[in-house]
Chains A and B, each alone.
Chain A
Amino acid sequence: MEKMLKKFIQNATRVAPKISKKGELFELRNGLVSQYPQTRKDAIKKTIQQMTLGKDVSSLFPDILKNIATSDVEQKKLVYLYVMNYAETHPELCILAVNTFVSDAQDTNPLIRCMAIRTMSMIRVDKILEYVEIPLRKTLQDDNPYVRKTAVICVAKLFALNKELCQELGVLEDLISALEDSNPMVVANAIAALSDIYEADESVVPLPKLIQSHVSQFLLALNECTEWARIIILGALAEYTAKDSLEAQEIIDRVTPHLQHVNAAVVLASIKVVIKNLPQVQANTESPIFSKLSSALVSLMSTPPEMQYVALRNIRIVLEKYPHILSRELRIFYVKFNDPLYVKLEKIDTLVRLVDPSNLKQCTLLLAELKEYAMEFEPEFVSRAILALSQLGVKYSEPKFITKVLEIIIELCNTRDSFQDDCLVAMCNLLRHAGPDQEGMVTQVCSLAEAWSSVENLLQTDYAKCNYIWLLGQFPQKFNNVERKLQASIDSFTQEESLTQMSLLISVVKLHSILPGSMLQNLLELATTSTDEVDVRDMAIMYWRCLSVESSHDGLINELCNSSLPEIATTLDTFSPELLETLLRELSLLSSVYFKPVSTMTKPKSSSGNHLKGKQLDELQFMAQDEILKNMNEDNLLDFDNDWPAASNSNYKSEAQGSTVDYLNDIFGLSSPAPPVENSMADLSLNKKDEKQKSSNTQDLLDLF
């Protein structure tokens, strides 16, 4: 009882933490200027302690700085740590440390020499940089490789802080000669520093040339340095194009042992170098190098999940170039129950990609596996698995197999509640691949869709709705009361997204002969007046135009309605060849995870900022003009009387627009989007174009949008 009371009182009365009258900083300061060396050192330790806790002890800067000149290595290290952290808060006081830096850079202890030059180049204070020359030169020529390797990095730091000074001092030449150093660590750091400098300003160092002339040094250093230095050197080697197949073979031979390294980054960098040189040695698929690559990639899958994810993203790129490289290793990529979701999704993707489409046994195995996945609980995972099922069906591409896949999906659709969206999309993909003559499949799918009572509530995504309406338009004879179903969609037209709207347009136009005329009229009006989507509006206008000239061009409208869609060959997204080559060169970099080349990720350099800014105004003016022009053109579009000037105008404009878009990308530092487009979707929209674009000038007009 008493205890409880005590506790209650303790909680009820707040006690302020005890602080001595003059505060902690005051006491620390007193300690720092004490007459006793030991007290000073203790005070420094306490200050650093506060610093690491995140407290602002920058006001102690001058007093800490007094302790920088000491023979005690421990104390020196602590003070240097403090100075690195707070130099920018007291730029003017940093000058007081210069003398110590300079004399420390000539200390007998290499650790201190190293520390001095490292700290000195790390402090972002202009005044300090003026004095960096002598110590930097001395340490670049130091006897100790540890000091040299540090000094080499310092050159890059100096360059980042003050380019002009760096060039003036001529230390870049020293840096270049460091590539010939006898110590592999120095070579690795030199190439790292040079690549950093090259990235900042290509005109300063001839990096590609240097890599050309130092390949043998790199290959020699490769075996003797630490793993991180190895990554740097391998990165440099990946930039090098071998002169002939002999040299390429030599590079591959030298790099191959590193494929078994324990560090995943080394492995990936080695893979990058090997792949870079593979085309030159013309290895056939049986050659041992492929099995080595394959086992290296497999070894990456025994890492923690985060690294697995990176590995999978890289594998995806490699697979696109060499699809058969991993086809025997299907099992490794099976999803484990305790994988995190992001790894699971990537694994499914990889599985479908690496399966060998000519191997029925493997495909059946994978089918069973994917079916298991589709019975799991995580919604994203199940959706992905259903998509993968259809991808697998399309990949294997044999009617019997597709029927099997379809059966699985239909079963899923019936047994599981909330995956109708994905199932429908998957089924439509399969139908699109199998072609309309697969009567059995069509009937199966349509009767399933027919059985759905309230489609509006059942299907959530734009994509699924789009597919549903496509199904209605494609196989109207399989549904009862198509008219009512379409009418329901037309009623909610304004709430739908653009894909569904377009699909609805296509289907209704296609079926206009069996639907009441008012329905078509109604839809075309809706699409031209109450949507913001330019594509949809444009399409409606186009259809309207075609339909209104029907009497004279009977063939046109027939063709429009009865053209059959081309088969989709694959539902796996692919990179464009250029992007693939770029990504292969950038394997193991961040860009390989994002699938975006480095060049699109970095912001425009600050030096060119002004330049761009200047352009921006012009560009904006140009865009404004363009906008006006466009508006005028749209007016023209509505009456087709003078379509020649419109066509020529639009030609000019589509060019102009292209460049505007490029410029906008530049200005905002946006990556030029290279989205892996869902192929089936691309086909769909292409088809729409095909259907309606019969005359060349309308094609031109379409290009506008």
Chain B
Amino acid sequence: MGNFFSSMFDRLWGVNREMRILILGLDGAGKTTILYRLQIGEVVTTKPTIGFNVETLVYKNLKLNVWDLGGQTSIRPYWRCYYSNTAAVIFVVDSTDRDRMPTAAHELHLMLREDELQDAALLVFANKQDQPAALSASEVSRELNLVELKDRSWSIVASSATNGDGISEGLDWLIDVVREEQM
């Protein structure tokens, strides 16, 4: 009974409500590193994610339920299981990996075509900017063909998960958009 009332109150005031955010991208793009950079503010050593990681974090008074899904070819088909009720998608791209840019673009557009994601905001991290051969944000944007996106609030931010550059800027933008849309 207590649970019942507490969940009633939660609903009434919107407390405890969690925003669901997905972090997607090809394998080795740095999704898990970004997740834990957001969660504990540190760089953790990661292994390829088989499955998913999920962390709950509070950012600017908003409870975020951040899902980091594995990027292996074998796991990508199961991304769709996680699309429902998603407020925003963070797509992480390895800026140094020029060869697989088309693959990334293909996966991105495939994903955005899903019905369940029509209202989701999109934030692209052009990651690994600390590396010398990294493409700039605008170059990545062109590679991914982001300009084609209509009816969607999207943004691209150059970032580096290892030294933290650009991460909070990107998230700030995302939160503003989400808050506007959801509230």
Contacts and interface: CB of A to CB of B under 8 A. Distances in A.
Chain B CB count within 10 A is highest, among A35, A37, A39, A102, for A35
Contacts of B20: 35
Interface residues of B, number: 25
B17 A36 contact: yes
A36 B14 CA distance: 9
Given A36-B11, A36-B16, A95 B74 contact: yes
Contact of B52 (A33, A63, A96): A96
A42 interface: yes
B116 to A, nearest CB: 10
Interface stretch (B81-89, B132-140, B158-166, B169-177): B81-89
Interface string B1-29: 00100110011000011111000000000
A99 B53 contact: yes
Contacts of B71: none
A262 to B, nearest CB: 42
B51 A36 contact: no
Given A69-B52, A99-B70, A36 B78 contact: no
B81 A36 contact: no
B54 interface: yes
B141 interface: no
Interface in A173-209: none
A108 to B, nearest CB: 15
**DSSP majority for the B interface?**
mixed
Nearest to A97: B51
A62 interface: yes
Contact of B78 (A93, A102, A103): A93
A37 B6 contact: no
B49 interface: yes
A93 B74 CA distance: 11
Interface string A15-34: 00000000000000000011
A96 B51 contact: yes
Given A95-B74, A97-B51, A36 B82 contact: no
Given A37-B16, A66-B81, A42 B51 contact: no
Contacts of B18: 35-37
A38 B49 CA distance: 27
B149 interface: no
A99 B65 CA distance: 17
A37 B74 CA distance: 29
Given A93-B78, A96-B75, A39 B51 contact: no
A69 B20 CA distance: 14
B50 interface: yes
Contacts of B11: 36
B82 to A, nearest CB: 7
A63 B81 CA distance: 8
A37 B10 CA distance: 10
A462 B3 CA distance: 73
A38 B82 contact: no
Given A96-B51, A99-B52, A99-B53, A38 B3 contact: yes
A541 interface: no
A34 B17 CA distance: 9
Chain A CB count within 10 A is highest, among B6, B16, B19, for B16
Contacts of A66: 52, 54, 81-82
A69 B78 contact: no
**DSSP majority for the A interface?**
helix
Contacts of B84: 33
Classify chain A: how many residues form its interface, as a range: 20 to 34
Contacts of B85: 33-35
Contacts of A63: 81
A35 B51 contact: no
Contacts of B53: 69, 99, 103
A98 interface: yes
Contact of A38 (B10, B50, B70): B10
A75 to B, nearest CB: 13
Contacts of A58: none
A649 interface: no
A35 B82 contact: no
Contacts of B78: 62, 92-93, 95-96
Contacts of A97: 51
A186 B149 CA distance: 60
A117 to B, nearest CB: 16
Given A66-B82, A95-B50, A35 B74 contact: no
A533 to B, nearest CB: 66
Chain A CB count within 10 A is highest, among B51, B52, B78, B81, for B51
Contacts of A381: none
A479 interface: no
B51 A98 contact: yes
Nearest to B48: A99
A34 B18 CA distance: 9
Contacts of B10: 36, 38
A131 interface: yes
A672 interface: no
A62 B10 CA distance: 26
B81 A99 contact: no
A102 B52 CA distance: 11
Contacts of B17: 35-36
A280 interface: no
Contact of A99 (B6, B7, B50): B50
Given A33-B85, A38-B7, A99 B49 contact: yes
A66 B69 CA distance: 11
A38 B81 contact: no
A224 to B, nearest CB: 39
Contacts of A95: 50-51, 74-75, 78
A100 interface: yes
B3 A100 contact: no
Interface in B30-85: 49-54, 65, 70, 74-75, 78, 81-82, 84-85
Contacts of B74: 95
B51 A100 contact: yes
Contacts of B16: 36-38
B75 A69 contact: no
A37 B6 CA distance: 11
A36 B18 CA distance: 6
A231 to B, nearest CB: 39
Contacts of A62: 78, 81
A63 B20 CA distance: 14
Chain A CB count within 10 A is highest, among B10, B11, B49, B50, for B50
Chain B CB count within 10 A is highest, among A34, A69, A131, for A69
26 contacts: A33-B84, A33-B85, A35-B18, A35-B85, A36-B10, A36-B11, A36-B17, A36-B18, A38-B3, A38-B7, A38-B16, A65-B81, A66-B52, A69-B52, A93-B78, A95-B75, A95-B78, A96-B51, A96-B52, A96-B78, A98-B50, A99-B50, A99-B53, A99-B70, A100-B51, A103-B53
Interface of A: 33-39, 42, 62-63, 65-66, 69, 92-93, 95-100, 102-103, 131
Given A35-B17, A35-B19, A96-B81, 15 more contacts: A33-B85, A35-B18, A35-B65, A36-B7, A36-B10, A36-B11, A38-B7, A63-B81, A69-B54, A92-B78, A95-B51, A95-B78, A98-B51, A99-B53, A103-B53
Would you list the 8 A-B pairs with minimal beta carbon distance, nearest first? A99-B51, A98-B50, A62-B81, A96-B51, A69-B54, A38-B7, A98-B51, A35-B18
